[in-house]
A and B are shown apart, each in its own frame.
Chain A
Amino acid sequence: MAENDDDKTPSVPASGDEPVRPAVPEEPTVQATVPSTPEFDFSAEQNELRTGLRRFVERQSDEATVRRLIETDLGYDRALWGRLGSELGALALAVPEDLGGAGAGLVDQAIAAEELGAALFCGPLLGTVGLAIPALVAAPAGPVRDELLPALAEGTRTAAFVGALFAPYDPSATTIASSGAGERTTLSGTVEQVPDAGAADVLLVAASGPDGPVLVAVESADARITVRGSLDLTRRHARVDLDGAQGRVVASGAGADRAIRHAYAVAGVLLAAEQVGIAQHLLDITVAYAKERLQFGRPIGSFQAVKHRCADMLVAVEHARSTAYHAAWAVQDPSLDDPELAVAIAQSTCSEACYRIAADAIQMHGGIGFTWEHQAHLYYKRAIADAALLGSAEAYREVVSSRVLDALGDVRAPVVATG
């Protein structure tokens, strides 16, 4: 039968010239201690978390606020960001308690990402919560981690992750070189587009050192950061030039590889959840509009051409939601599925669904949907950016292809008529 044995798929070696290192003692998998509800079963606390965050963003991240913030230099409200960390604890839900977090789990953090995404909450969520915090959580203990993690979790400092963020994780893809592998290192190289870098206090850099990957923390003031005009007004890109920048080494070799890999997996989950939130919001406003907008003497939602497109949007949202939640549960509890495959399924499904729904939402709104005054374009721009971040739907289909199709074992061939 066509049972896949994805767990046994060997991971691809990083690059040919990487020196073979002695085996590093395996560290325990991150998140293994979180008490997990059965898959797709949200606890009462998780439902409360969702309701609470929804209420918070209704007041604090309404459309007027988002429109005001995208006109500011920084692009977000530092005080509000601090409240998100300290008052709501929404930045470090998946951080173990002994590292200053809530010790909840990735499913909880995904719920937060969904609700904040639905409201287009402005702030360095991807850089700080999606990538930097999980990288630090998965990194070996050390002074840099212990100093940075609580500040990021509290919301007193923010971070961006400097790496190849427009493709699935590939350790050989970094363009930043690191010299020396002591506590401090000097970096060289430039990354043209780094989301959230303009708003970050600290940069977590995925670099390549003489002994393989290195994870380096650099104070933003020590790098040359140039904010660029971004298609998505709610999450800006900046150029980061690190030539000569001094940084502190967080992890190197296998430890760095593990930390970065975990960060990409978590960010993949949270980005997928954000896409679900955006897609659901757009479906909701589209359906509401189709009920009230009259043309030819009837609500446009009574026309099958409109109704059927809304039905297809519903199907896409439900599929996106299932894959995003599954990925959250699988990364939290790897006994459920191969986490990287689960993330690939979610990323390819959610990127496609969210973008398609955003495009359809504009179409269903007609002319008003194309105006600056309507919220649709803000979401549409986030949707196309999210679909490219961490790799496109096509790139993740390639991950699925290599993990599933190229790894097919003995599969029963179907009966074919031969005439």
Chain B
Amino acid sequence: MSPGTSTTTSDALRVEEAARKVVAEHDPRSVPSEELLGALFDAGLAWVSFPEGLGGLGLSRGLQSIVDGIVVDAGGPRGFALNPIGYGMGAPTVVEYAQSTEQARDWLRPLATCEDIWCQLFSEPGAGSDVAGLATTAVRDGDEWVLNGQKVWTTLAHVSRWGMVVARTDPDQPKHRGLTYFVLDMHQPGVDVRPLRQMTGQAEFNEVYLNDARIPDANRLGEVGAGWKVAITTLMNERTAIGGVAGKRGTGPIAEALGLWSAMPERRTPVLRDRLSALWTKTEAHRLTLARARRTATKGQPGPEGSVSKLVAAELNQDVYEFCMDLLGPEALLYDDYTLRRADRIGHDPGATLQQRFLRSRANTIEGGTSEVMRNILGERVLGLPGDMRADSDRPWREVPRG
């Protein structure tokens, strides 16, 4: 896709040239992926928008797709696919808030090569959509902090080297003000990772118990008590990542529905045909909206298009898989395997059955912000409607009812 202005045209050429050079010198088909990803980091191509020396070139974020395209075309891996939380959420937070450039580089390079997988420890049993209501405590002890509490829904925690954790450092402040953000060594004593089995039978996520887990103060991101601001950086990057990218027409979940429609002529009815047609059209509208969002973002004017995509993608996935179940008929009610399995990667498992995908889609409207919270965000941040009535404003966190 050609960029919008002449400035970005020369930047785009520069990025393209640099990416081709790295791929030529580190052939993805013959060198280990760590070497290629490390070379991309050193060339400033891991995140082109980051500062030079920290995996970037200080250029527009929209140019990253040029690098990714060249790497994938050459048969290489996308770091984002191997270490999605590290690439998508950890790195932008580290780059903005690490206490020193050295510290940032020490974290970022192994993150970029995927030798270090990262996870994000925000959600708790008592704090889901209301992340800032979390109860895990961090108490200062000399140059260290001591953490206690329980986290939940932690993707990839069982393979992670580092975790981004938000903990309460001052329960007497209102909830957003008493939080502090840290990077936690997942391999230390006091960090207990247990699989969390989902309704699919699989365990994609984990529960993480923190029992006197210690973190050096040097691993703090942002100021003491300013953890919420840091967490927002992480969360905004999460939604961008979840919202997705505009793929080709007819790909993604709708491809499953089209495949099933094609394979089952005997199950077709006019009503199902209309439903599929409506789903296909809505998928197109969603895809075109993502393409439009990318165009406006490249021009540096992000509009409301991007913020609707997370909400739409989640509900559309569910609708498409519900349609598939209806088209499938009685066979939809069969299931092969509820044995506990752990996923080492997130994203689509190509071998997953339709029934499994159907069950998994129930999480789409919950993970990364429920659809209810997303609608609040659209209403308040995009349309500027007044905020909800809140029971916790300006009250010390200690006094706020929880359950």
Show the binding face of A for B, using Cβ within 8 Å: 1-4, 38-41, 283, 287, 290-291, 298-299, 301-302, 304, 306-308, 310-312, 314-315, 318-323, 325-326, 345, 348-349, 394, 397-398, 400-401, 404-405, 408, 411-419
Contacts and interface: CB of A to CB of B under 8 A. Distances in A.
A400 B281 contact: yes
Is chain B's interface secondary structure helix, strand, loop, or mixed overall? helix
B284 A323 contact: yes
B251 A2 contact: yes
B173 to A, nearest CB: 25
Given A322-B285, A345-B284, A302 B386 contact: yes
A307 B376 contact: yes
Contacts of B336: 417-419
A138 B335 CA distance: 57
Given A319-B289, A404-B280, A416 B273 contact: no
A413 B376 CA distance: 38
Contacts of A291: 384-386
Contacts of A283: 383
B259 A412 contact: yes
A417 B382 contact: no
Contacts of B376: 304, 307-308, 311
Contacts of B4: 38, 41
A325 B305 CA distance: 13
A411 B263 CA distance: 8
Interface of B: 1-2, 4, 248-251, 254-256, 258-263, 273-274, 276-278, 280-282, 284-286, 288-289, 291-292, 295-296, 299, 304-305, 308, 311-312, 324, 328, 331, 334-337, 351-357, 372, 374-376, 378-380, 382-389
Contacts of A320: 285
A287 B286 CA distance: 23
Nearest to A315: B308
Contacts of B386: 291, 298-299, 301-302
A413 B285 contact: no
A310 B354 contact: no
30 contacts: A2-B258, A3-B250, A3-B251, A4-B250, A40-B296, A287-B384, A298-B389, A306-B385, A307-B375, A308-B376, A308-B379, A311-B383, A314-B378, A315-B312, A318-B308, A322-B289, A345-B281, A348-B278, A349-B281, A401-B276, A411-B262, A413-B260, A414-B324, A415-B354, A416-B331, A416-B353, A417-B337, A417-B353, A417-B354, A419-B335
B292 A2 contact: no
A418 B356 CA distance: 12
B296 A414 contact: no
A414 B382 CA distance: 38
B337 to A, nearest CB: 8
A177 B137 CA distance: 83
Contacts of A39: 291, 295
B172 to A, nearest CB: 28
Nearest to A409: B262
A397 B354 contact: no
Nearest to B351: A415
A301 B281 contact: no
Contacts of B357: 414
B383 A310 contact: yes
A39 B353 CA distance: 36
B272 to A, nearest CB: 10
Contact of B285 (A2, A319, A411, A412): A319
Contact of A418 (B286, B305, B331): B331
A216 B276 CA distance: 40
B256 to A, nearest CB: 4
Given A40-B292, A301-B379, 15 more contacts: A2-B255, A4-B250, A41-B295, A299-B385, A308-B376, A319-B288, A321-B289, A349-B285, A397-B281, A405-B277, A413-B263, A414-B324, A414-B354, A416-B331, A417-B335
B71 to A, nearest CB: 21
Given A1-B251, A301-B386, A310-B385, A408 B292 contact: no
Contacts of A299: 385-386
B228 to A, nearest CB: 22
A291 to B, nearest CB: 6
A226 to B, nearest CB: 37
Contacts of A287: 383-385
B339 to A, nearest CB: 13
A348 B281 contact: yes
Contacts of A398: 277
Contacts of B308: 314-315, 318-319
A412 B258 CA distance: 9
Given A345-B284, A404-B277, A413 B291 contact: no
A307 B354 contact: no
Contact of B356 (A3, A325, A417): A417
Given A4-B249, A322-B288, A40 B256 contact: no
A408 B383 contact: no
B299 A41 contact: yes
A411 B212 CA distance: 54
Nearest to B382: A314
B388 A302 contact: yes
A314 B258 CA distance: 28
Nearest to B1: A38
The 3 closest A-B pairs by CB, nearest first: A419-B334, A307-B379, A301-B385
Contacts of A419: 334-336
Contacts of A411: 255, 258-259, 261-263
A384 to B, nearest CB: 19
Given A1-B251, A301-B385, A302-B386, A417 B311 contact: no
B303 to A, nearest CB: 9
Contacts of A413: 259-260, 262-263
Contacts of A400: 277, 280-281
Contact of A318 (B256, B276, B289): B289
B94 to A, nearest CB: 32
Chain B CB count within 10 A is highest, among A2, A39, A322, for: A2
Contacts of B254: 2
B128 to A, nearest CB: 17
Nearest to A396: B281
Contacts of B378: 310-311, 314-315
Contacts of A290: 385
A323 B288 contact: yes
Nearest to B291: A40
A345 B284 CA distance: 8
B304 A318 contact: yes
Contacts of B263: 411, 413
A419 B334 CA distance: 5
Contacts of A417: 334-337, 353-356
Contacts of A408: 258, 261-262
A325 B372 CA distance: 29
A287 B385 CA distance: 7
A25 B4 CA distance: 38
Contacts of B380: 307
A187 B259 CA distance: 49
A412 B261 CA distance: 10
A395 to B, nearest CB: 11
A40 B295 CA distance: 7
